[in-house]
Amino acid sequence: MCSKISKVAIYGRVIHEEFYPYFKQMLHDLNERGVCLTCYRPFYDFLKEKCDVSDVFQAFYDEDVDKDTDVLFSVGGDGTFLDSVMRVKSYGVPVLGINSGRLGFLANIAQEEISQAIRWLCAGEFDVEQRALVKFEMKDNPFAKFNYALNEISILKTERSSLLKVHAYIEGEYLTTYWSDGVIVATPTGSTAYSLSCGGPIVAFGCDNLIITPVSPHNLNMRPLILPGNVKIRLKVESRSGNFMLSADSRMQRMSDNHELFISSSDFKMNVVKMPDHSYYETLRNKLNWGEDKRNKKDRS
């Protein structure tokens, strides 16, 4: 268990009108317990127009949260949660995902669970899970300010009709050339995201692995590959158009083919708040309908 919280940062982009009452109640519950609240300024600007939040926040931030923040509340969906990584960077501030939208695999605190989650946080009755990130380096890196991703790094084609040729090397040794729409390098956390939709395996977040998953490969004998987390991956792209799309979680940038990508596990991990009544395997079961079969109901205990 962790110590009680006294300072919370709020991060978000937009929230829908039906979530306003839950958001206001969340701020009220935190304020009532004497928690110091800071808010991401662009989100606050949105809230001023849509939701009465005057005299609630003690401070604001534009880029990174203060290093003495106890917890960052990511309010939105999984996309917002992924963006929140850029707010905490390597500071070690734990992130709690408040789901204001639909599925919410990473942002897994539902609307009706917010008040209970705050009670646990203020009592110190929560744990922190560590999630590995993937690091990517390249010449003229468009994401040099934060060259990490929580879910995946993706190389994707920019034109509908042509394939990419992605030459892959592991620790300097040639692995293969992927003739495909793209290649994903995912973390265990990202194994349930884009990689999974492309036929990749689910890897539990506590594992130390990187996963290479081809996107719509042109050869049927090409399969996803699970690698140790300490390897170095080099990717070199060829395309008819002369460029490709580089994606780091929700960030995207068009790049020319003369760029090589060097990928490895990050040298730090992201801390994620875990509530007492939540588990990774429960999330798999409930959010992904894992092994859904009416015969399984009698086996639960």
- CATH 2.60.200.30 domain extents, the chain: 133-267
Q: Is 164 annotated as a binding residue?
A: no
Counting Cα atoms < 13 Å in the Cβ hemisphere of 68 gives 4
Strand, coil or helix: 2: coil
Q: Is 196 annotated as a binding residue?
A: yes
**Tokens 């995946």 belong to residue:** 152
Domain spanning 7-126+275-296: which superfamily?
A: Probable inorganic polyphosphate/atp-NAD kinase; domain 1 (3.40.50.10330)
Q: Is 97 annotated as a binding residue?
A: no
Task: Report the pLDDT averaged over residues 196-225.
Answer: 95
* Whole-prediction pTM: 0.93
- Asked if residue 126 lies in contact with residue 2, where contact means CB atoms within 8 angstroms, the answer is yes
Q: Is 192 annotated as a binding residue?
A: yes
Confidence grade of residue 93 (pLDDT, cut at 50, 70, 90)? very high
Q: Is 27 annotated as a binding residue?
A: no
Is pLDDT of 246 > 90? yes
**Percent of the chain residues past pLDDT 70, beyond the cut:** 96
- Both structure tokens of 193: 């995201």
Catalytic residues: 78
CB within 8 Å of 72: residues ≥ 6 apart: 8, 9, 10, 11, 65, 84, 87, 88, 93, 94, 95, 96
Q: Is 78 annotated as a binding residue?
A: yes
Q: Is 197 annotated as a binding residue?
A: yes
- For 160-232, strand residue ranges (E) read 164-170, 173-180, 182-186, 209-215, 225-228
- CATH 3.40.50.10330 domain extents, the chain: 7-126+275-296
- Asked if residue 55 lies in contact with residue 86, where contact means CB atoms within 8 angstroms, the answer is no
Domain 133-267 has what CATH class?
mainly beta
Q: Lowest-confidence range among 12-16, 147-151, 295-299?
A: 295-299
Q: How far is CA 297 from CA 188, 190, 301, in A?
A: 28, 28, 9
pLDDT digits (tens, 9 = 90+) for 151-199: 999 999 997 768 999 999 999 999 999 999 999 999 999 999 999 999 9
Is pLDDT of 282 > 60? yes
Q: Lowest-confidence range among 34-38, 206-210, 238-242?
A: 238-242
Instruction: Give the pLDDT of residue 297.
Output: 64
- For the chain, strand residue ranges (E) read 7-12, 36-40, 59-61, 71-76, 95-99, 127-137, 148-149, 152-156, 164-170, 173-180, 182-186, 209-215, 225-228, 233-239, 243-248, 251-256, 260-274
Confidence grade of residue 301 (pLDDT, cut at 50, 70, 90)? low
